[in-house]
């Protein structure tokens, strides 16, 4: 039944009218202006993208960190993967910020509302084995220079994403985890009942190459991360809960 529903949703999605980003003129904007323009909460002044009723202006203010960490890559030909794209606001902003990048967008829902020659949307639930196998067989020859995890922010999901997708990151590539401390602030996102370290401690242990207990990251996963992570930078954006990590691969 689930497969039929998904098939139907995919069918409707493929025929849905989408906004063509290749003919939108949003040149010469800073990344923060692009975030605000498209309405992602990565910006500083956006209406709550998840509630049409709310008039509250908010935003994490992540652009300054992205611009600093990504400046060397701005004009390069590269692949970017965003995990968790909602309607595609941040993907649209990145498409305009990186004029030569191809953006791969994955989400478990079909709300993505944009299209471009440089955007590929792939419907995928990171907790669904079939979806992940489909992802692997379709994109196994693609390496990403930048991977951004902005999906559920559930603790186990963030650890699984790091385990799975980090392997497809290019050398010197950057893996970003947005709102990585969310499970500390929001009980509902802390789904592991103490069986996994919170991301801040997990990242600290990785940097110190210190093994830790985990049901998700095996000994060999941890060794892989110890061996392949060059650097981890952590920043706080505009609000107390706006934590972001930039993990650079060797």
Is the CB of residue 166 less than 8 Å from the CB of residue 227? no
Q: Which x/- pattern over 180-219 shows residues binding ligand SAM (rule: CB under 6 A)?
A: ----------------------------------------
- Binding of ligand SAM by 123 (CB under 6 A): no
177 in the Ramachandran plot: left (φ > 0), alpha (ψ -120 to 50) or beta?
Answer: beta
Q: Does 90 bind ligand SAM (CB under 6 A)?
A: yes
* Cβ pair 33, 65 in contact under 8 A: no
Q: Does 127 bind ligand SAM (CB under 6 A)?
A: yes
160 touches ligand SAM (CB under 6 A): no
Q: Between 119 and 151, whose beta carbon lies closer to ligand SAM?
A: 151
> Smallest gap, in angstroms, from Cβ of residue 47 to ligand SAM?
12
For residue 79, the cross-strand partners are 102
- Which residue is listed with tokens 């953006």? 103
Residue among 21, 70, 94, 150 that touches ligand SAM (CB under 6 A): 150
237 touching ligand SAM, by CB under 6 A? no
**Residue 54, token pair as written in the block:** 């709310």
Asked if 149 touches ligand SAM (CB under 6 A), the answer is no
Do 124 and 148 touch, CB atoms closer than 8 A? Answer: no
Contact segment (CB under 6 A) with ligand SAM among 151-159, 196-204, 213-221, 238-246 equals: 151-159
Residue 151 per-residue DSSP state: S
What DSSP assignment string belongs to 58-99? E----HHHHHHHHGGGTTS-EEEEEE--TTSHHHHHHHHHST
Cα 49 from Cα 89, distance rounded (Å)? 9
Residues in contact with ligand SAM, shown as a per-residue x/- string from 41 to 60 under the rule CB under 6 A: -x------------------
The answer to whether 151 contacts ligand SAM (rule: CB under 6 A) is yes
Q: Does residue 109 interact with ligand SAM by CB under 6 A? A: yes
Which residues lie near ligand SAM (CB under 6 A)? 40, 42, 84-86, 89-90, 106-109, 124-127, 150-152, 157
């Amino acid at each position: 039944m689930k497969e039929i529903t998904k098939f139907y949703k995919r069918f409707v999605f493929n025929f849905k009218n989408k906004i063509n980003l290749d003919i939108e003129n949003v040149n010469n904007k800073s990344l923060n202006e692009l975030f605000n323009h498209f309405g992602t909460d990565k910006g500083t002044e956006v209406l709550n993208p998840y509630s049409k009723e709310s008039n509250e202006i908010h935003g994490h203010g992540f652009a300054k960190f992205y611009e600093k960490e990504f400046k060397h890559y701005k004009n390069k030909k590269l692949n970017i993967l965003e995990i968790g794209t909602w309607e595609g606001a941040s993907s649209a902003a990145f498409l305009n910020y990186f004029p030569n990048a191809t953006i791969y967008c994955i989400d478990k829902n079909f709300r993505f509302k944009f299209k471009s020659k440089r955007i590929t949307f792939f419907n995928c639930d990171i907790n669904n084995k079939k979806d992940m196998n489909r992802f692997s067989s379709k994109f196994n020859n693609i390496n990403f220079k930048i991977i951004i995890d902005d999906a559920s922010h559930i603790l186990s999901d963030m650890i699984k994403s790091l385990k799975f997708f980090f392997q497809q990151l290019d050398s010197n590539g950057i893996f970003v985890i947005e709102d990585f401390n969310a499970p500390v602030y929001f009980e509902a996102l802390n789904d592991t009942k103490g069986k996994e370290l919170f991301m801040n401690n997990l990242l600290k242990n990785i940097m110190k190459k210190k093994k830790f207990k985990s049901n998700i990251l095996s000994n060999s996963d941890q060794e892989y991360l110890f061996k392949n992570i060059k650097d981890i930078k952590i920043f706080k954006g505009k609000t107390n809960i706006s934590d972001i990590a930039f993990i650079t691969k060797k």
